[in-house]
Chains A and B, each alone.
Chain A
Amino acid sequence: MSEPVTALRGATDAAGIVQIREIGPRGMITLRGDLSDKATIKAAVAAGGVNVPEVRHCNTEGESGIAWMSPDEVLIMCPYAEVHARIADLRTKLAKQHSLAVNVSDARALFSVTGPHAREVMAKLSPVDLHVDAFTPGMFRRTRLAQVPAAFWMPQEQTFNIVCFRSVAVYVYDVLKVAAQPGSEVGHF
């Protein structure tokens, strides 16, 4: 099989007030099921390598992690090469549970936005309170980014990771560049 190719082949841009980078490919699994069920939790933890997060949060460690998506859905992240094995493992472990585990690694694009102005750039595009007291590392937010659905979290202060659909990767990258254009510092946060 060929080497996996991301939507933008790892494009980066540092011309503006933040650094924008396409990261990935990243293994991503949509797991739907009863998030209070012990076997489901156990299987998710095994696949994601971290604990199942609280509502609207995510736990990440390097390329692995779990993000809370909705009351019956988590997004499990893992190295891209391992995704098929992890799905197979999930399906085996959850054979008796009513659940659904599907590979969405290739359906997504993943970006990072880094720098002291990261919060400002994101606040130009998403209708979310990104004040330092309101949005903190560990939280996970599904919303829109300009005109497309997206989700983001902060692996650490000054960095956002953004997940969007693969088909709009070019749009998201371009719109982030516009929002980060030189001279556009807001100075609000």
Chain B
Amino acid sequence: MSTRLATGGRLLDTSKPLNFTFNGKHMRGLAGDTLASALLANDQMLMGRSFKYHRPRGVVASGAEEPNGLVHLGDEATFEPNQRVTTTSLFEGLKAKSQNHWPSLEFDVGAINKHLSRFLPAGFYYKMFMYPRSFWKHVYEPVIRKSAGLGAAPKTRDEDTYEHFYAFCDVLVVGGGVAGLEAARTAGLSGARVILVEQTDHWGGRAPVDGGMIDGASVDDYITKTLAALEGMDNVDIRLRTMGAGVYDHGYALAYEQLTDHQPDATGPRHRLWRIRAAQIITATGAIERPLSFAGNDIPGVMLASAVRDYVVNYGVSVGDRTVVVTNNDNAYLTAIALKHAGLNVPVILDARVLPEDRGLVAQAKALGIRVMMGHAISSVKGGKRVTSVEICSQAGEGAVLEEIPCDAVAMSGGWSPVVHLWSHCGGKLRWDTGLACFSPDLDNPPKGADGMTFVTPAGAASGMFALDDVLHDAFAAADGVLTCLDMKVPSGVTSPVAERREESPMAPIWMMPHGASAKLREKAWLDYQNDVKVSDVRLAAQEGFVSVEHAKRYTTLGMATDQGKLSNINGLATLAGALGADIPTVGTTTFRPPYHPISLASIAGEAKDHVFQPIRRTPMHDWHEANGAEFEPVGQWRRPYAFKRGGESTHDAVMREVTNTRQKLGMLDASTLGKIIVKGPDAGKFLDMMYTNMMSTLKPGKCRYGLMCSENGFLIDDGVVARIDDDTWLCHTTTGGAESIHAHMEEWLQTEWWDWKVYVANVTEQYAQVAVVGPNARTALEKLGGMDVSKEAIGFMEWVDGTLGGFQVRVYRISFSGELSYEIAVDASHGQAFWDALMAVGADLGVMPYGTEALHILRAEKGFIMIGDETDGTVIPQDLGLHWALSKKKDDYLGKRAQERSHMTDPDRWKLVGLETTDGATLPDGAYAVTEGTNANGQRNMIGRVTSTYRSPTLDRGIAMGLVLHGPDRMGEVLTFPGTDGTEYKAKIVDPVFYDKEGEKQNV
């Protein structure tokens, strides 16, 4: 059984006990524990079930590479699935639940799958669930989803907050082990701006567990001393619980800081995502130990040798009373020695190597009286929910059992793999290190930055340096090299610390244990614990032709899911290489993609949630609209009132009322969102003649003209009324959505094509609140406000005048988008609400009502006015809309003119704008297509037109619509058929698009 020892635990604060629950069971741990160490201290080795076969699984590792120990943490608003027990700091009141089991962790029905495992090989789902196709959605997928998969999705809204932080530095050091500390110290001493991040809650990494002496003192002393030095440097920021998550182009790096996960009651954001721009990055990310592939290596109690050591030394936890150590290298002997020092039993060390002599750690272990069997291996581990014994065989053979040794834990070591993820994220290449049997950074092919130079340097174990002295020297050299790139220097007198060296024998690559393991053994030898991928699966994939490592990964699921194969990848590659008869570097690795370890989605969103999810643009009268029944609609980021509802009326009724009231009495529209762009200069007229299809240079000061804008492709992009202010100044109104884009469009042509033209442009959209005062009573209302002459004589239709109304400085435009007598009045935005109030007051006995965008749409559609975005969709040219009158014949050129001469643009078969009137008065469905006889190549009915705008017109008491129809204007009176999506067919007659006041008398009074 696993238990807490009486002594040991360098990270623990034994004075601070903590209570927590696992599957509802109350347990106790200590401050400094991870959830993994606390569970082990409570003899909770069984922590979950595997993905596919629901096999019992215990913790394997002690860090981020852990594949099995995934739990649900918290509940309701703090619920989070797939949290690693090894990276979760224990806190008072922590609630954890195991996942992927039913009905309970101890007894799981899905575990039947393990007896079926012969029938669930690699690619099983692909092969089995192909046919019949309809079964996938209703039978296969629901069943698979229930039985496979990891954690559950949260059901409650996340109440925590998250943030970003933009940081800049000369040197970012990722990893706070001795390599990272040394690199940060060296860089810091030079005066460089340094950020050092460490993913765990403690500094020093593995080195203090593995022991040794640095400059004649203990590793712990070195860490304490170095930390003190770093903390004393103003130019260095050091952060625990902050993981270097990804390295991207041009020195961009993400670091993920967990602020309150370990102290849920603390105020402030839960996670902070650091968006760092570093001139240079040092990846001191350490190395991860590899499992060995032997039968039964997934039974709870089989763990990495380094993890067993970590639990004893860091947390004072014994994972078992009798631990068999199995290894292909010297390093695992440290575990045997640590266990022995803790008073625990190590029945045997099985070393797959045959060494000529006992040196270093091997000699030390033997001196402690530990039995060492060279050239031996595990044939099979026995046990169900816990290891009970191991069967021993020769590594060289096929697995004939020589001896069975009772034990309750197995510590395995297949060698170490440098953590090369961050090096690889942005293009750093790898090389195969034959001596260490691992991929390490290829320093000749590093990631390169904006200047084409190296910006990532690995240090320590991450660059394949495993001996303490090598690690320190490498870290110092990495910092030195990075400083050189920055034109900085290590101060004279600063040198690398020196560590005591151990005698070491070389490791031996062992990819299968025993070497000639039978098919039966291979079927029980796990490569990927999280995804239930075994040696036999990878071999099968190779046999079936999945020779590319990327294909084999997807076919077998090796290295997928939340751990992305941190433990399994190299063993998997080696197995694939073996099956293909290729060498490992030829097979290569799958791609390393950020993040290194899962980060919360919410941290990526940062502050952008709830009320600040996106910017909402408000006009100066927004609050009034909100208080007066406005139902808003988004127009880009603006919120515009769609309709103002009164009492219990429906939105539709409100819209109908607003249209009728505007036609009969007086309506007011908040038109502030319309774009307003000032264009000024000696060449402004010439410039606007290029921007608009119409002639704007001939417009007289004081006059307005409706204009069209096209792109160079000839397509309509915007429209609006242009007013000439004075000799060299024009004011261009754009659509609401076009204000920024048309301003940018103008600047683009001025800056990149006609840069010698003397024109200045300014976007003054938000300077003004603009109110459309519309309807037969509009003039009376303005006269009541008083201050200026608003008669037809003083301001004719399509004219503008500056003046005062009711004491407000205003600019009044006589323009109409409704066909009614209409004034659009601009006032400085800071007076917008007051001006609106004044208008409402004088309009009270004239029947004034505000109206929204839907009434605006109906009013314009009744008049046959087009709307950008309804009648246009980026493929429509003015000629399609019968707007020939707005295309100047006198101009040699305007943007889009040449394109409109292309053969497709002049094709007489282009669909053209017409009005559509249903034969029974109904309203056509939006976007409906008109069909004709016959079918196209796809068997669909031939189409001859489509609806672009359709409304119920209260003025005409019927449905009205506009549409683009083949030869439309030549087919007046013809009735077209529009199938609805509900099976009904609509009949509509082609008519003139102007439904109301064709002569335009009402707006010109």
Contact = CB atoms under 8 A, between A and B. Distances in A.
Say if the two chains contact directly (CB < 8 Å): yes
Interface of A: 1-7, 25, 30, 32-33, 72, 80, 98-100, 102-108, 120, 123-131, 134, 146-148, 165-171, 174-175, 178-179, 181-188
B345 interface: no
A2 B607 contact: no
A24 B809 CA distance: 20
16 contacts: A2-B834, A30-B762, A32-B760, A98-B758, A99-B760, A102-B678, A103-B764, A106-B767, A106-B831, A126-B166, A147-B608, A166-B829, A174-B611, A175-B612, A178-B607, A187-B237
A15 B807 CA distance: 40
Given A1-B807, A2-B831, A166-B829, A129 B168 contact: yes
B574 to A, nearest CB: 43
B164 interface: yes
B808 A134 contact: no
B830 interface: yes
B159 to A, nearest CB: 13
Nearest to A24: B830
Contacts of A104: 762, 764, 767
Interface in B13-68: none
Interface in B791-833: 807-809, 828-831, 833
A106 B830 contact: yes
B618 A170 contact: yes
B614 A147 contact: yes
Nearest to A103: B767
Nearest to B763: A107
B163 A178 contact: yes
B615 interface: yes
B607 A124 contact: yes
Contacts, number: 146
Interface string B268-304: 1100100101000000000000000000000000000
A46 B831 CA distance: 27
A168 B616 CA distance: 6
A43 B899 CA distance: 45
Contact of A106 (B680, B681, B758, B828): B828
Given A2-B835, A126-B166, 17 more contacts: A2-B834, A4-B828, A7-B618, A98-B681, A100-B761, A102-B767, A103-B767, A106-B828, A106-B830, A107-B764, A125-B607, A146-B612, A167-B619, A168-B618, A171-B612, A182-B268, A188-B237
B268 A5 contact: no
Given A6-B830, A106-B768, A166-B766, A171 B607 contact: no
A33 B760 CA distance: 8
A52 to B, nearest CB: 17
A174 B682 CA distance: 43
B152 interface: no
Contacts of A106: 766-768, 828-831
A108 to B, nearest CB: 8
A184 B267 CA distance: 8
Interface in B447-493: none
B616 A171 contact: yes
B167 interface: yes
A105 B267 contact: no
Given A1-B809, A2-B808, A100 B762 contact: yes
Contacts of A103: 764, 767, 828
Given A1-B809, A98-B682, A148-B615, A107 B163 contact: no
B168 A131 contact: yes
B638 interface: yes
A33 B193 CA distance: 40
A87 B215 CA distance: 72
A187 B236 CA distance: 11
Given A30-B762, A179-B163, A100 B681 contact: yes
A4 B616 CA distance: 22
Nearest to B834: A2
Nearest to A98: B758
Nearest to A165: B766
Please give me the 5 A-B residue pairs with the lowest Cβ-Cβ distance, nearest first: A183-B268, A183-B267, A2-B834, A4-B830, A106-B829
Main secondary structure of the interface of A (DSSP, over half): loop
Interface string B303-347: 000000000000000000000000000000000000000000000
Nearest to B830: A4
Interface string B654-665: 000000000000
A146 B758 contact: no
Interface string B615-628: 11111100000000
Nearest to B195: A188
B166 A98 contact: no
Contacts of A30: 762
Contacts of B167: 123, 188
Contacts of B590: none
B228 interface: no
B569 interface: no
Contact of A5 (B163, B269, B808, B831): B831
Nearest to A167: B617
Contact of B760 (A98, A134, A166, A170): A98
Nearest to B760: A100
A32 B762 contact: yes
Contacts of B761: 100
Contact of A183 (B266, B678, B760): B266
A78 B102 CA distance: 71
Contacts of A100: 678, 680-681, 760-762
A168 B607 contact: no
A11 to B, nearest CB: 13
A181 B161 contact: yes
Interface string B159-193: 00101111110000000000000000000000001
A182 B163 CA distance: 13
Contacts of B766: 106-108, 165-167
A104 B165 CA distance: 31
Nearest to B806: A1
Contacts of B607: 124-125, 146, 175, 178-179
Most buried by B among A103, A182, A184: A184
Contact of B269 (A99, A128, A171, A184): A184
Among B163, B267, B830, the most chain A Cβ lie within 10 Å of the Cβ of: B830
B166 A107 contact: no
B760 to A, nearest CB: 4
B608 A146 contact: yes
Nearest to B678: A102
B765 interface: yes
Nearest to A149: B740
Contacts of B807: 1-2
Interface string B212-226: 000000000000000
B166 A5 contact: no
B163 A102 contact: no
Contacts of B831: 1-2, 4-5, 106
A5 to B, nearest CB: 5
Nearest to B619: A167
A1 B31 CA distance: 67
B618 to A, nearest CB: 6
A178 B613 CA distance: 11
A76 B829 CA distance: 19
Nearest to A102: B762
Contacts of B268: 181-185
B829 A186 contact: no
Contacts of B620: 5, 7, 166
A178 B272 CA distance: 13
A124 B807 CA distance: 44
A181 B977 CA distance: 60
A5 B765 CA distance: 17
Nearest to B769: A106
Contacts of B762: 30, 32, 100, 102, 104
B615 A171 contact: yes
Interface in B646-693: 678, 680-682
Given A1-B808, A178-B612, A105 B828 contact: yes
